[in-house]
A and B are shown apart, each in its own frame.
Chain A
């Protein structure tokens, strides 16, 4: 257990005892991480605030249910935040045209050279349905059955969305001169 995890564990115990100072410290430590997680699903800043508020309330109210033996606190908190983000996202569904399916090769190392902000901004251009599945599958590590349950869709549909998301990503990046260059003409 690292120092930060040890510190988190102390704060969690403090939160369980009702220590307001521990709650504040835990909130401060988790805020950037959970905001980053919520940001992957919610694009609007105000919505991010709402989702974070709801997520933190759920986290503090359900701290008794957290079992350290089953995983890290960050993962557990991120799952709650992602669930809240998806639930809120359903309420604000937006309709986007599915992208055309073209096959372009992309060098995996190119993604490492792209600035993170650029990467996020590029990915935000993806249809939300696909973007959700891509995040849940690739980043969060859910399987299609779990994603289907979270999004209220069939697992096969999740699989299809992931395929389209993959194609979308490959369609919008190209490798030129050893650097990753987003194909801006395809981002519109």
Chain B
């Protein structure tokens, strides 16, 4: 047995009490007389079934008879005239409606006939257009090409045309000096040109081994180049290369350039995060790092907090505590160590929960009241009223809406892992928040459902507390050394007053609970580069 309540339950639930002699029979007789009609009805259901069916059949026949008579009489003379009138009206309406319908038909004819007449013309147009399209672009007839693709195909096609006029492709690279004098000497394999997409056409035009990057060829290609982001840079590079190399573009070194040479230049990030610079020092320079690069992140934003009891109370109690909002701010120092990103800092947070509760209480009271009233049986007059102390129960209801507050200075410690997407950064942070409570006050509910106030002194004597935290953040490099940040952080901390023995003396109930805290952090980060010293 766990406690006396279980003993009480086992004993009382099995408690049976036999009636006094005759009591059971008397009770049964009175019960039987009351349930007899119901049960007799139910027991007699079967016997009365046929009678019920008979009455139902009679009723159905009667209803059918009445309905048939009503239908018969409704179709007789008095309604015939009305029906005739209605029929004539309907006829008149229908004859009137013929004319508009003709007009409508006449008006509608051009509209109706136009598609029929225009259909041959459309098909004729298509038929007239088809040979042209088929003659110019046999492959394009099957699907609709965008202008971009058409232009790319034109480039490739031009390559085919040029290749047909050009001499056979040289097998020896040294022999390319001869065709380099010809300004229209772009040579592309026709099979490749057929399959060329917009990019492959451009690549083929620019990077094929047989391409002669002369100025005129580049100009022609740039004139045909469709507008897409990376293309201008690539063409510019080719243009510059052609201009700078000039006649020497025919040299062997220029033609040995790999096709992907442009990619690093095109894809180079415009702003490189300073943290990445620190991880990847430039080995080509004659400089070395002296100091550690770091960043300072200042942030602030709303906090949200939800409290729940964790001392085995009924879940109903937690329903009265609702999440509420406050604010917090902080300053973090972000640095790198052991090729990992860390952050420490200082912060201040306030967490608020909303207690929305209706307290019920009752107390025994003794008050003056009427003890008895003496009434004359004959006249009904009140003869006497006896007053005195009467006992009663006083019930009180109190609606409570209170905001529990918890403020603390905190030392956040965090390990970070991030990924870069161009100027964007996405990362997670795992760590802890070591808190030093600065202020707390609120109201709590005891196990009886009564509300008590508590203050900072009723909480744990040691003001230190900690909670594990997690943070999901994203950043955007608005400048080489500046990043705008947006974070969502969450943490879980204990919140109880079970350590203070004075609470019961002060009438504050003890509780054990937890707070789930979250924060939206909006901030900005300034990167400080490492000191570089030339050797």
Contacts and interface: CB of A to CB of B under 8 A. Distances in A.
Interface of A: 15-20, 23-24, 27-28, 31-33, 35-37, 39-40, 49, 52-53, 56-57, 60-61, 95-98, 106, 108-112, 116, 119-120, 129, 135, 138-141, 143-145, 153-157, 159-161, 163, 166, 169-170
B449 A157 contact: yes
Contact of B4 (A56, A108, A145): A108
A160 B17 contact: no
Contact of A111 (B4, B23, B27, B34): B4
Contacts of B361: 157, 160
Contact of B28 (A27, A39, A166): A27
Given A24-B28, A98-B363, A154-B360, A160 B392 contact: no
Given A97-B391, A116-B15, 13 more contacts: A18-B42, A18-B43, A33-B16, A35-B16, A57-B31, A57-B34, A139-B13, A145-B316, A157-B395, A160-B361, A160-B362, A160-B448, A163-B447
A interface majority secondary structure: helix
Nearest to B26: A49
Contact of B31 (A16, A53, A153, A163): A53
Given A56-B31, A108-B7, A111-B4, A120 B15 contact: yes
B319 to A, nearest CB: 11
Contacts of B507: none
Interface string B1-36: 111111111011101111100011001101110110
Contacts of B271: none
B39 A159 contact: no
A133 to B, nearest CB: 12
B372 interface: no
B393 interface: yes
Contacts of B8: 111, 119, 138-139, 169
Interface residues of B, number: 52
A150 B245 CA distance: 97
B38 A61 contact: yes
Interface of B: 1-9, 11-13, 15-19, 23-24, 27-28, 30-32, 34-35, 38-40, 42-44, 314, 316, 358-364, 366, 390-393, 395, 397, 447-450
A129 B395 CA distance: 13
Contact of A139 (B2, B9, B17, B42): B9
B94 to A, nearest CB: 61
Nearest to B2: A108
B258 to A, nearest CB: 77
A61 B35 contact: yes
A63 B284 CA distance: 94
Nearest to A74: B13
Nearest to B1: A108
A154 B361 CA distance: 9
A98 B364 contact: yes
